[in-house]
Structure 1
């Protein structure tokens, strides 16, 4: 009986240590959909499109090369500034629509002094695949 108790205690401690190793705020397997959605946008805001690519569904990544995605996201005339979760709607346990409020600046055209600031609501479809949430782009 004592060996069983020691084994259970050891396994519990290993689980606790593994949780600590993941660190606070890091992308963890099984993270909530709203956390993943905000984290992806924060990467885009920080101009880390190659890292944000990893949040896209495996099927999308299989048909869209990482370098092309990163180049496309990095050369847009928009500069994302801030993201905030608005809400989510999950019709089942593996599908959610997440709405995010995104502040941005846009360079319009020659002759317009400086960028134009605005806010937009982004509506995104997210799928849970093998315990992890991924964004499925509309295109």
Structure 2
């Protein structure tokens, strides 16, 4: 499971957004196709590094993942000044039909 979380961030670092989109649950991808997803959430930050910090699985089919990520902020704002930002990114992963997927609320 941690390998899939890392692979998704590796795709974001490579700016391979189609590959990153492919890690969302099948049900999410059924509701929101790639074109609508990328149009509604255009990539603003350029990820530079990422690594799995922690994985906790409260059940056999759900895990909470913390990723440590560094990215370039596209513009300066109070919450995120321009420049390199490092932060912990929380994610929820679920197992569907034997495979792990990133859970995304619509």
TM-score normalised to the size of structure 2?
0.86
Whose Rg is larger? 1
In the alignment, does 2:47 pair up with 1:80? yes
Shift of 1:69: 2.1
Name which structure has the greater RCO, CA cutoff 8 Å, separation 6+: 2
Tell me which residue corresponds to 1:61.
29
- Paired with 1:60 and 1:84, the residues of 2 have a C-alpha distance of 24
TM-score normalised to the size of structure 1?
0.67
Q: 1:45 aligns with which of 13, 31, 37?
A: 13
- Paired with 1:76 and 1:135, the residues of 2 have a C-alpha distance of 18
- Paired with 1:70 and 1:76, the residues of 2 have a C-alpha distance of 7
Query: Larger helix proportion, structure 1 or 2?
Result: 1
- Spell out, residue by residue over 1:39-78, the C-alpha distance to the aligned partner (whole angstroms, 9 max, x if none): 00110111111111111001111111112223455x3321
Across the aligned residues of Structure 1 and Structure 2, the Cα RMSD in angstroms comes to: 1.5
Query: Larger strand proportion, structure 1 or 2?
Result: 2
Q: Matches of residues 1-139 of structure 1 in structure 2 within 5 Å?
A: 33-73=1-41, 75-109=42-76, 115-139=82-106
